[in-house]
Amino acid sequence: MDVTLFEKIINREIPAEILYEDDLSIVIRDIAPQAPTHLLIIPKKPIEMISKASDDDQMILGHLLLTAKSMASKLDLKDTFRLVINNGAKAGQSVFHLHIHLLSGRSMSWPPG
């Protein structure tokens, strides 16, 4: 796997607005927001996409969801946010390093797409 944009952000090779970081993950603002609040929760371990995660990734995948919950609480989003994981180019994934979109601040329609 080539070095991704997110790995470059994690390694501080390119700038980003970092809102949170720990040993396993980093949270940044999306540079092309699709909602007033649009964060990306990114594992530091490069996992190409959710369909390529292994059983060994169980802990980090759970950590990402709990980090999303923590960020929503920190931003006082209460129960007004959506989490999105795109898996593959046809599903809208453009950076092939697993990440969760946290979106809030506007009405969300269903079905998405």
Summarised one tens digit per residue, pLDDT across range 51-91 is 999 999 999 999 999 999 999 999 999 989 999 999 999 99
| Closest alpha carbon to 20 in 67, 60, 76, 57 | 67
Asked if 49 contacts 98 with a C-beta cutoff of 8 angstroms, the reply is yes
Q: Is 99 among the residues known to form the active site?
A: yes
What pLDDT digit, counting tens, does each position of 4-14 carry? 999 999 999 99
pLDDT tens by residue, 32-56: 999 999 999 999 999 999 999 999 9
User: Tell me, what's the pLDDT at 111?
Assistant: 86
* Percent helix / strand / coil, the chain, rounded to 5: 30, 20, 50
- What whole-number distance in Å separates Cα of residue 98 and Cα of residue 96? 6
* Residue of 38, 97, 99, 101 with catalytic role: 99
Give CA–CA dist 112/7, Å, rounded: 28
Q: State pTM to two decimals.
A: 0.94
pLDDT at residue 112, rounded to an integer: 80
Longest alpha-carbon distance in the chain: 38
Among 85, 70, 76, residue whose Cα is nearest residue 104 = 76
Q: Is 44 in contact with 2 (CB distance < 8 Å)?
A: no
Q: Which CATH superfamily is domain 5-104 in?
A: HIT-like (3.30.428.10)
Rounded mean pLDDT, 8-34:
97
Q: Which of 7, 60, 91 is nearest to 16 (CA)?
A: 7
**What pLDDT is recorded for position 1?**
58
pLDDT of residue 2: 84
